[in-house]
Structure formats: structure tokens, C-alpha cells
Structure 1
């Protein structure tokens, strides 16, 4: 119990220290550009990179791109589990304190092209869906300053996606079963990102 208390005290001290850090660079000017990568997105084997530009003292524009090139195609031509996709995620952000520091709200407009197969939690068990999607959502996040050029950011977003795809059976992917259209409401973004500031 004592060890848990000490660990909790250390973590809360680190968070307090990071929150109290100034977002200003060594010359007193705020950062203008941030490069970032989302660790949660990497957990799905999706390489990703984002760039964010400071537009004004409380406004920024972010664009994130993710590409999962893995098909899941087996030697016999059938498809196994796959979340192959390309995603572009632009977002306009309003910062409550200053750009790249503290709380923010965002509006995002995601677009994706996908080829997903045999993932039960995505509703594609024993089938493959190849198509595209677009939507709009809102997000909330917080940005911690952890060093002169380094930040950590946590973000969550919800919204709407229109998804259109052709549906195929996994075992015989040459014959289309149907064209499907879905209207999705729910989480549209989750990120824990490492950020480098310029």
C-alpha cells in the first residue's frame, strides 16, 4: 500500500511539474510548428505522422495521416484479419490558454479509404469490406509540456462518419456480395501523441 502511495505521489508531482512548464521557447516566442505521432495508432500497426501549425495565439490547424499497408491476404488468395487503410484527419483547434499548451477543443473532418476483413468488433467477421468514409466530429484534449521542445498530448473525439463499401466473403474475395452504406455515430478519434515543437 505504501509503494502505491509513493508511486501515485511521484506521478502527480510529475504531472504538476509538466503542467507548470511554460510553452515559450528559449527566446520567449511560442512554437510555430509541431510534429507528432500517435502511440495508440501505432498499436494497430499503423505508421502515422501529424503536423500542427500555430495560426494565432489560441488557434492551430493540425493534419494527421495514417497508413496501414498490411493486407492480411493468405497464400490461397483468401483474406485473414486485416485493417488496411489510409486516413487523413485535419482538425482546427481552439486553445484555452495558449497554442500547444493546456486544454483545447477541436473540430475534425476525417477521410479514409479502407479494406477491412475478419475483424469481429468492426462488424466484418468472415467478410471483407472495401470502401471509403468521411465525416465530422468534435474533440477535447490536453497538451503537457515535458521539455523545451517536447510535449505529450491526449485527445478524444466523437462524431459522425458516412461509410460506403463493397462487401465480399473472405474465402472468395472475387465476387461482390453487396454495396453497403452506413451512418456511424460514436468515437472518431483517440490519441496519446509524442510531439516535437519548432
Structure 2
């Protein structure tokens, strides 16, 4: 990833975290996205209330695994989101604005055509992405400490990557940048409220 772009992205995430901790912080939730685990990607997130109807959500995931036969979906991703709740925080409907970024090394996996095209399983792509979008979600209270959340987001991602033959030592076939519009997040998360 471009070092300057990487530093700017980290600065934005840290700024949002500082804003959240300086605000109204009556509730904090720790969470993990079960759908992300289904892709063998460990992930964790934290969400903090910054007002009666506002929260800031910070999350990340990291997938270092080789799947065998030159198949891999290695990546890391970090995401921040500002959420507005229609009722109270951590309950019911919410709308959000999110920013995200990360790096990837994906090969031999058949992905939807709108990501890399119809030949995604025939090549390996290694690069980075940054983007933003809007989201909608709903959170159900399961007990005084536990909740479940479903959300979906749509937006834009800018990607730069190198294309290679499928294996790690494969020939470099060129570099490309692309603009992606479509789903940028989807989640079914379990939340534990710690405050």
C-alpha cells in the first residue's frame, strides 16, 4: 500500500477514536461479525456511544491463511463508522457512514464478477483498497449484556493491484487501478456490552 495513503488512513481512524472517547461515552460494546468468520477471517470491533443517538464503530479483520492449491483470500481490513440510531443507541434501527481500507493477496478463488471480473479464479491479485459508503442496520437485544446486529452497506472503493499468474512465484501480468461501486459491508454480529 502507498505509505502516504496508509498513514492518512490510520490518521483518520485514530481521529475518529479520539473524537469518540472525548464525547459522551455511556455505553461500549465489543463485537464480532459471524459472516466474516465464515470466510475464515478472525475479526473484532468496538462501538462507543458518543450521544443519546450516536455511536462510533471501529472494526478490523485479518486473514493470513492459505487454502491450498494456490487458493487464498489473504487480507487485512480496517473500518470506521459513524452511526445515527432512530431510537436509543444499541437498540433498533440505525443508519451509518463508513470509511474503510486494507490490503489483499487473493488468488484461485471464484469471486463475484463485479469485483475483479469473470476470471478471478485464474489469477492472483495483490494490492490495496480505500473507500467509503452508507449503511443501514438493526440491532436486537438478547439480554442485558448481549445483542445481535444485522447490517449492510453500499458505497465506493478505489483499488490498486498487481495481477499475477496463480502461484506466489507466478509472472507479473501488469498493474491496474479500478473503481468499485456496490456492497462495501455486510454483517451479522454478536455484541457484548461492557459498560
Structure 1 residue 176: Cα displacement = 1.3
Distance 2:46 2:167 in 1: 40
Give unpaired runs (5+ residues) of structure 2: 1-24
1:89 maps onto 2:85 in alignment? no
Cross-structure match for 1:36: 31
What's the counterpart of residue 151 of structure 1?
147
Q: Distance in 2 between matches of 1:182 and 1:155?
A: 26
Q: 1:172: Cα distance to partner?
A: 6.5
- Give, in whole Å, the separation in 1 of the partners of 2:131 and 2:66: 24
The offset of 1:55, in angstroms, is 0.4
Aligned-residue offset at 1:173: 2.9
The two structures have a TM-score, normalised by structure 2, of 0.80
5+ long unaligned stretches in structure 1: 1-29, 75-79
Q: After the TM superposition, which segments of 4 or more aligned residues of structure 1 sit over 4 Å from their partners?
A: none
User: 1:176-197: per-residue Cα shift (whole Å, max 9, x none)?
Assistant: 1100111010001110000000
Give the whole-Å Cα distance in 1 for the aligned partners of 2:135 and 2:28.
20
- Pairs aligned (count): 164
Going from structure 1 to structure 2, the CA distance change for 1:146 and 1:172 (only over 3 Å counts) comes to: closer
Partner of 1:99: 89
Change (3 A) 1:176 1:194: same
Change (3 A) 1:31 1:143: farther
Judge conservation of contact 1:49–1:66 (CA < 8 Å) in 2: yes
> Partners of 1:107 and 1:90 in 2: how far apart?
8
Question: Residues 99 and 172 from structure 1, CA distance in 2 versus in 1: closer, same or farther, beyond 3 angstroms?
Answer: closer
**Which region of structure 1 is more displaced relative to structure 2, 166-175 or 113-122?**
166-175
> Which residue of the other structure, out of 62, 68, 74, is the alignment partner of 2:63?
68
Shift of the 70–172 alpha-carbon distance from structure 1 to 2, 3 Å rule, reads closer
Q: Matched residues in 1 for 2:186 and 2:153: separation?
A: 6
1:183 is matched with 179
TM superposition shift of 1:31: 5.2
Relative distance call for 1:172 and 1:35 in structure 2 (3 A) is: closer
Q: Does 1:141 align with 2:137?
A: yes
1:109 is paired with a residue whose SS is strand
Aligned equivalents of 2:176, 2:182: Cα separation in 1: 19
Give the CA RMSD over aligned residues. Answer: 1.5
Distance 2:110 2:146 in 1: 38
Query: Greater shift after overlay, 114-123 or 129-138?
Result: 114-123
